[in-house]
Amino acid sequence: MLAMTVLTILAVIYMTWTLVSGWAYRRPWCLLVCGLLISAFATMVKSLPLVIKELPKSPWSPSEMDFAAALVDPTLIGLAGGLIAAGVMLKVQIMHATDVQDAKRNLKRSIEALQEVERADEDLKLVARSLPDKEFWQRLTAIKEARTEALFEKQEAKRELKKIQVPGLPGGDET
């Protein structure tokens, strides 16, 4: 019974490693499901000795069954807890990296908006002499308002990116 328990534990660990390692990093919820399935399996194996003890002609001794059940408890439950924790942490890291990428896109858009305002200002300088005074001042006022708004958006995007970035997490090292 002890050998069968050890082989089962090793088989579960090997199958978890080979089956989960590739696609689970793209789908963290799979780690959660695997952890829950392993904990269900461990519960079943843990209660199996009680069922087998009740059989009249059991080939295993009660002490061997108790030892196997005691061995299963910390290993499989620990493996299940580790998988569940890994799934949760992986999901948190993916969500954080997505938030950082969104903040970087917002910063890039705000910089592009500011550059667009600067191009409009350069265009106004080129045609300033050919415009009537009223139209020139209207365009100049609109450009100044747009520049102020673009600068505020850029500063807000920088502040948001700095607030989200955490050293050591994906997307937290480079700006």
Selected residue with higher pLDDT from 123 and 48: 123
Confidence of residue 71 (pLDDT cuts 50, 70, 90): low
Does 117 have pLDDT greater than 90? yes
Per-domain residue ranges for the chain? 2-91, 96-164
Q: Contact at 8 Å (CB) between 63 and 133?
A: no
What does the pLDDT average to over 90-113? 88
For residue 170, what pLDDT band results from cuts at 50, 70 and 90? low
- How far CA 10 is from CA of 14, 20, 132, in Å, comes to 6, 15, 85
Per DSSP, 129 falls in state: G
Q: What are the CA-CA distances from residue 49 to residues 8, 12, 61, 86 (Å)?
A: 15, 19, 10, 30
Global confidence as pTM: 0.57
pLDDT (0 to 100) of residue 175:
46
Segment holding 152, helix H or strand E = helix 133-164
Take residue 43 and report the two structure tokens written for it.
């519960």
Does the pLDDT value for residue 98 go beyond 90? no
Closest CA to 76 of 86, 64, 68, 66: 68
Residue type, position 104, single letter: K
In the chain, % of residues over pLDDT 90: 27
Q: What is the mean pLDDT of residues 125-132?
A: 88
